A = this chain, B = another copy of it.
Amino acid sequence: MKYPSSLVALIRELSRLPGIGPKSAQRLAFYLFEQPREDIERLAGSLLDAKRELHTCPVCFNITDAELCDVCADPTRMQNLICVVEEPGDVIAIEKSGEYTGLYHVLHGVLSPMNGVGPDKLQLRPLLPRLQSGIEVILATGTTVEGEATAMYVQRLIEPLGVMVSRIAYGLPVGGALEYADEVTLGRALSGRQRVSK
């Protein structure tokens, strides 16, 4: 039996998504086949809309559909605090904790020489012009090996510029990714941050 080509194509596309193997992709495809046409069109439309409307904020590289992201555009946020995170999802996780009122800087990745990710692949250079004296930079990359290495790299890079650098506290379980932490733990980790610069 030959499978219909549009079914094969759909299963192939779905199985490219992270965490979805060939079996899950097949199950998803059959599930989608049973859904009404409007639902499929809404799903496809939301994919295209998101891709068309979303971009990164030119200041902090958070995801936004406006010129500046909501945080950068808000003058009531503390302008002398910049929290450096790996991914846009980390911003959402920290915002949910309600403990933080400063700005962000999203690196869009971590240093990972094994996977060919060096400093040039991260949004690291645009951080430098944001660093004036009196600013505190909170390094909130994950407590994975790559997250630690990235935090250390950023620290060494920006310390000579005379900014205060801190690292979120080990309230996080070691080895855990930031976006999986619960709000309370994340809040504690932020308020218990330790100064690492001299």
Contacts and interface: CB of A to CB of B under 8 A. Distances in A.
Given A7-B50, A40-B47, A48-B44, A1 B32 contact: no
B46 A9 contact: yes
Contacts of A31: 17-18
Interface in A21-62: 23-24, 26-34, 37, 39-54
Contact of A28 (B18, B24, B41): B18
In the assembly, how many copies of this chain are there?
2
A50 B95 CA distance: 39
Highest count of chain B CB atoms <10 Å: which of A24, A45, A180:
A45
B88 A6 contact: no
A67 interface: no
Interface string A58-92: 00000111100111001000000000000111011
A10 interface: yes
Interface size class of A (residues with CB under 8 A): 35 or more
B53 A179 contact: no
Contact of A27 (B2, B66, B89): B89
A27 B32 contact: no
